[in-house]
Structure 1
Amino acid sequence: MKLQQLFFAYDFDELMPIINEMFPGTSKYREPLKKAYDIMTTLKPVASKKSIHYKIMDAPGGNGEQYMGANDVDFRGTWEVSLGKDVTRERGVDLSDTDILANCLVNLCFLGTYPKEFEKAHQELLKP
């Protein structure tokens, strides 16, 4: 499934509780995250042969812990290109589509190249 299709399948209000669960305390960033969501639902995706691939990864530090996620590089580039990427998951990754979309939204806010209209909201996300 293309990332843009996930954005059209779920409302922001379905994502925010998941984002707050993944990243406790992010509820105070609701408005900038909503702005990002709103912008992403209006952008025209650019076809890409690359994907956003969720897999089981080793946690930093080498203590044997693992988590489910995608590599940061999967989110680098313009939002339009990311919206045109396929979202895939490796066997054993039991994240729901809403979990993945919530994670993609947050990662794109910090790792992707966002449009100029998101600059003010991006600055709000960077405030402690």
Structure 2
Amino acid sequence: MGKKILIVDDEVHIKMLLEQTLEELEDEHGVELFTASDGEEGLDLIRSEKPDLVFLDIMMPRMNGYEVCRTVKEDKELENVQIVLLTAKGQEVDRKQGLELGAVRYMTKPFDPDEILSVSREMLNF
């Protein structure tokens, strides 16, 4: 089974940048990429696809990243989903809240594509 990565962000250019960055893993390892534009759509995709890794924006309409993260972590069927929170807010209190909710990483925007790749490789054991 190939690995799956989901990108959840309401900013189109961020989503595209992440997709372009992660296409390298698609080519090398057959990773499947999925995208969602808000928290609700993201949560639906997490439930249906059970991605191995989710890059999840915090500030989004309909359902924010914290709410998505909490919901995923409370669901036993989704316990293997690893979440990396992405945010423009780099404050310690935000990071702490994200990690307490079960995110494995917290990355601030603008992010370094190389860092996104290395975190992905690490999380997916490539």
TM-score range for the pair, normalised by the shorter chain length: under 0.3
- TM-score, structure 1 normalization: 0.24
More strand by share: 2
- TM-score, structure 2 normalization: 0.25
